[in-house]
Amino acid sequence: GHRALALALLFGFGALETVFLTASLTKFIHGGYLTLGLTLVIFLIMVVWFFGNRRRLRYNQANEQISLLDYRNQLIQLSHDDHLPVFATNLVYLAKVDHQHRVKRSILYSILDKRPKRAKVYWFITINETNRPYDCSYSIDMLGTRNIVEVQLN
């Protein structure tokens, strides 16, 4: 029943596709190779672009991460510098801070360079996705200071 119907459809569509393939192969000889060649060139460009982007991102990630621990004293000094106006009492950054307390260089650049942003407390909040649907936990690390808070929300 069903097997005979499936085989009939397979052979029917197979015959139709074979007719289209043979008709198209004659076009290949008369210039269809140009379209195929351009398609291959574009495909190769996209493959090189994809893998080049992945390599560039991996390189930048290694060079763009700096440790909060290395800038701890600068943040403490900035917080206590009375010559600068207070930018905010609590300055909160939603940032991906890893287990070695590394953060993007641009975040600390925005705090410390050009116009330093003086705050009483600097918050670095990371939101982590977990595999457990109803998992709800957090951890707080003050990095041995009174004005730098690293929060990990799970």
- pLDDT tens digit string along 4-35? 999 999 999 999 999 988 888 888 888 888 88
112 and 46 inside one domain: no
27 and 5 inside one domain: yes
Q: How many CB atoms are located within 10 Å of the residue 60 CB?
A: 10
In this prediction, residue 29 carries a pLDDT of 80
Instruction: Using only the alpha carbons of the chain, give its radius of gyration.
Output: 30
**β-sheet bridge partners, residue 88:** 119
pLDDT tens-digit map of 97-153:
988 899 998 899 999 988 999 999 999 999 999 888 888 999 999 999 999 999 999
Q: How many domains does the chain have?
A: 2
- Sequence-distant (≥ 6) Cβ neighbours of residue 36 within 8 angstroms: 28
What's the whole-number mean pLDDT along residues 44-52? 97
Smallest CA-to-CA distance from 102 within 50, 49, 150 is with 150
143 and 71 inside one domain: yes
Of the candidates 64, 98, 118, which is a domain's last residue? 64
Of the candidates 15, 31, 64, which is a domain's last residue? 64
Q: Which two tokens stand for residue 8?
A: 């009939």
**65: pLDDT strictly greater than 90:** no
Q: Which two tokens stand for residue 16?
A: 């139709």
Q: Which domain holds residue 100?
A: 66-153
Residue 36: pLDDT band (50, 70, 90) is confident
Higher pLDDT, 61 or 59: 59
pTM above 0.95, yes or no: no
In this prediction, residue 26 carries a pLDDT of 81
